[in-house]
């Protein structure tokens, strides 16, 4: 945390407590806790994908620490939509308690249930839809249709005797949406007329002037790019971006091409979307990727995962020539997504590798093949003017986005002291129409590494970074317990270290001398001798080679 904030006082009567456990100051792992009269409602539970400085990490979860001893008080979890940064953490949270009621739209719950099935968890789910009002515990929930880059997204109004809160989830105000489902501004207006105490608003594009471009403008661009492609077309997007996949299928049909889905999550999600009627596919257009080689190359489109440069996703493996699909001269690759902050280097490496292989790479930087799913500044101003909230708490965005969103709120007349720029773990209490920061709870990052959840620490990641950047040196010695004299060693080995092992001949006499000096002082403890060796070789390596490798001394005293 930037500021030192004390622990919050016990929750007072007729006060609604709001605690973001993720999604503040970052794009991902969105999760907000609402606590009232001993009962807890959770909105969203997503994941954040790791950066290069977090080697070996699969995904990053919100910090469940605050909830571990409070799970019996959780009356439900609302999922605003089916993107990974809002639902990806659900299987991990349900390991704390499997019967938590999950509320969401039909498509959102279908995506979640498929994910839970892989984790062998049975969902206690309840489908809700726009306009519906649900009572759960002491919370009254009202759902509002919002437009996003996935069908069936919902905002939620949360009402208690302490006041009312509107959480938008992710949204924008596309006026000609592909599925005809508009953000319901009339519903927003009714909420505003009834009086809104706190507005939790998507901030992702708050620093982008004007309005987010229309999704429908992407289709003709995709169709044109495909018409000019000489060989295969490979389109990479998020595996849950149903609208974009629909546009790719439509463009493929217009160019007499077949479509093969690539990537387990892409296949799973699009099968669900097609079965539920959210994805329209003409007969004979979709083919199994196993049979793609039977189709002429100029009649084929691959719809793939990996638009963010994820190392294990299909597109990155193609770029590394570690995939059944071998990209080559004349192929066209389309990255139909925005860059999530932190992924830039990974994505540009993939683009460069694909270009080196001879592909024509089309992305948002050189063609209009993607538009954002988030409201820009002009759209947010409309919302503030319609809702007229008493208090505002920007969510979902890095700090520059949160601050930009807060300034928009102030421009519409909301007092600066009523605009709360928070951090993960900060506690906001809503009472008598006033929202204030009441303290903070411990809130870090929960790393998933294979089957390990929460056991990897920042110190572990620092060790991995050192190994990657500086290498590894091990020193083995056997010391006589009676005399302290060296019986074996020092034997030195190095890995991922630029110098050959023979360079350590210069330091071995110094290690031997340091051990002898420690022995004369009566040192026989193996740990103390390891520290002597570590200091000796560490100083030498730093001075002679300007490196700081990981040093692991092993000393046996016998």
Work out whether the CA dihedral 528, 530, 533, 535 comes out positive or negative: negative
Confidence of residue 499 (pLDDT cuts 50, 70, 90): low
pTM for the full model? Answer: 0.83
Percent of the chain with pLDDT over 70: 92
Confidence of residue 311 (pLDDT cuts 50, 70, 90): low
Percent of the chain with pLDDT over 90: 64
Average pLDDT over residues 215-219: 93
Does residue 287 register a pLDDT over 60? yes
Among 172-176, 430-434, 505-509, which stretch is predicted with the lowest mean pLDDT? 505-509
pLDDT of residue 366: 83
Mean pLDDT of all residues in the chain?
Answer: 90
Q: What is the pLDDT of residues 514-545, one digit of tens each?
A: 888 888 888 888 888 888 888 888 888 878 77
DSSP class per residue in 411-463: HTT--GGGB----TTEEEEEETTEEEEEEE-----EEEETTEES---HHHHHH
Does residue 498 register a pLDDT over 60? no
Residue with more model confidence, 543 or 153: 153
Collapsed DSSP state (helix, strand, coil) of residue 476? strand
Q: Taking the chain, what is the end-to-end CA distance rounded to the nearest angstrom?
A: 48
DSSP class per residue in 26-53: BSS--EEEEEETTEEEEE----B---TT
Both structure tokens of 522: 């009566």
Residue with more model confidence, 251 or 487: 251
Cα–chain-centroid distance for residue 474? 36
Among 196-205, 399-408, 524-533, which stretch is predicted with the lowest mean pLDDT? 524-533
pLDDT of residue 465: 62
pLDDT of residue 428: 97
pLDDT of residue 368: 85
* CA-based nearest residue to 61, from 43, 84, 42, 81: 84
Q: Which of 60-64, 155-159, 468-472 has the highest mean pLDDT?
A: 155-159
Confidence of residue 167 (pLDDT cuts 50, 70, 90): very high
Does residue 2 register a pLDDT over 50? no
Does residue 443 register a pLDDT over 60? yes
Complete domains list, the chain, with CATH: 16-210+373-447 (3.60.15.10), 215-362 (3.40.50.10710), 458-557 (3.10.20.580)
- Alpha helix (H) residue ranges in 168-322: 185-194, 218-228, 242-254, 264-275, 314-319
Does residue 192 register a pLDDT over 50? yes
Collapsed DSSP state (helix, strand, coil) of residue 363? coil
Does residue 68 register a pLDDT over 50? yes
Cα distances from 134 to residues 32, 126, 152, 216, 536, in angstroms, run 19, 11, 17, 34, 67
Among 68-82, 124-138, 184-198, 501-515, which stretch is predicted with the lowest mean pLDDT? 501-515
| H or E segment and range at residue 407 | helix 399-411
Does residue 80 register a pLDDT over 50? yes
Does residue 364 register a pLDDT over 90? no
Confidence of residue 196 (pLDDT cuts 50, 70, 90): very high
Among 154-158, 165-169, 335-339, which stretch is predicted with the lowest mean pLDDT? 335-339
Among 39-43, 222-226, 310-314, 526-530, which stretch is predicted with the lowest mean pLDDT? 310-314
Does residue 557 register a pLDDT over 90? no
The Cβ of residue 210 has, within 10 Å, a number of other Cβ atoms equal to: 10
Does residue 220 register a pLDDT over 50? yes
Confidence of residue 1 (pLDDT cuts 50, 70, 90): very low
Tell me, what DSSP letter sits at residue 549?
-
Average pLDDT over residues 193-218: 96
d(CA 45, CA 253): 37
Residue with more model confidence, 367 or 383: 383
Does residue 59 register a pLDDT over 60? yes
């Amino acid at each position: 945390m930037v500021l030192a904030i004390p622990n919050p006082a016990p929750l007072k009567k007729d006060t609604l407590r709001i605690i973001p456990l993720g999604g503040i100051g970052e794009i991902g792992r969105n999760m907000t806790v609402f606590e009232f009269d001993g009962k807890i409602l959770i909105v969203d539970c997503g994941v954040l994908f790791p950066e290069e400085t977090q080697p070996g990490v699969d995904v990053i979860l919100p910090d469940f620490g605050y909830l571990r001893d409070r799970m019996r008080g959780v009356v439900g979890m609302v999922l605003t939509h089916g993107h990974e940064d809002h639902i990806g953490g659900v299987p991990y949270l349900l390991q704390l308690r499997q019967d938590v009621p999950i509320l969401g739209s039909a498509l959102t719950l279908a995506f979640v249930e498929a994910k839970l099935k892989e984790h062998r968890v049975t969902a206690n789910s309840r489908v809700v839809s726009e306009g519906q009002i649900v009572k759960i515990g002491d919370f009254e929930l009202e759902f509002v249709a919002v437009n996003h880059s996935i069908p069936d997204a919902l905002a939620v109004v949360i009402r208690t005797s302490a006041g009312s809160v509107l959480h938008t989830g992710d949204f924008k105000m596309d006026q000609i949406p592909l599925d005809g489902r508009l953000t319901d501004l009339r519903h927003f207006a009714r909420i505003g007329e009834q009086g809104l105490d706190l507005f939790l608003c998507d901030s992702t594009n708050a620093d982008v002037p004007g309005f987010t471009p229309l999704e429908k403008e992407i289709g003709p661009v995709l169709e044109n790019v495909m018409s000019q492609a000489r060989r295969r077309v490979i389109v990479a997007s998020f595996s849950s971006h149903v609208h974009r996949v629909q546009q790719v299928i439509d463009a493929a049909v217009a160019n007499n091409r077949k479509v093969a889905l690539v990537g387990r999550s892409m296949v799973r999600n699009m099968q669900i979307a097609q079965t539920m009627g959210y994805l329209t596919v003409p007969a004979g257009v979709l083919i199994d990727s196993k049979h793609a080689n039977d189709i002429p190359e100029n009649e084929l489109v691959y719809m793939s995962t990996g638009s963010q440069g994820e190392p294990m996703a299909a597109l990155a493996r193609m770029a590394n020539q570690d995939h059944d699909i071998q990209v080559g001269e004349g192929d066209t690759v389309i990255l139909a997504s925005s860059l999530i902050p932190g992924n830039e280097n990974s994505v540009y490496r993939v683009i460069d590798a694909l270009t080196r292989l001879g592909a024509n790479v089309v992305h948002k930087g050189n063609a209009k093949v993607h538009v954002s799913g988030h409201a820009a500044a002009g759209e947010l101003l409309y919302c503030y003017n319609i809702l007229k909230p008493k208090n505002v708490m920007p969510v979902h965005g890095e700090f520059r986005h949160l601050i930009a969103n807060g300034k928009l709120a102030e421009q519409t007349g909301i007092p600066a002291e009523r605009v709360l720029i928070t951090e993960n773990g900060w506690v906001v209490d809503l009472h008598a129409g006033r929202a204030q920061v009441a303290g903070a709870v411990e809130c870090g990052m929960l790393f998933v590494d294979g089957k390990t959840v929460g056991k990897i620490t920042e110190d572990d990641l620092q060790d991995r970074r050192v190994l990657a950047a500086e290498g590894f040196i091990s020193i083995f010695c056997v010391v006589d317990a009676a005399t302290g004299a060296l019986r074996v060693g020092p034997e030195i080995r190095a890995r991922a270290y630029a110098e050959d092992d023979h360079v350590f001949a210069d330091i071995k006499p110094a290690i031997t001398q340091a051990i002898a000096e420690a022995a004369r002082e009566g040192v026989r403890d193996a740990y103390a001798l390891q520290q002597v060796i570590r200091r000796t070789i560490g100083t030498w390596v730093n001075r002679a080679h300007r490196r700081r490798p990981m040093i692991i001394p092993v000393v046996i005293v016998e």
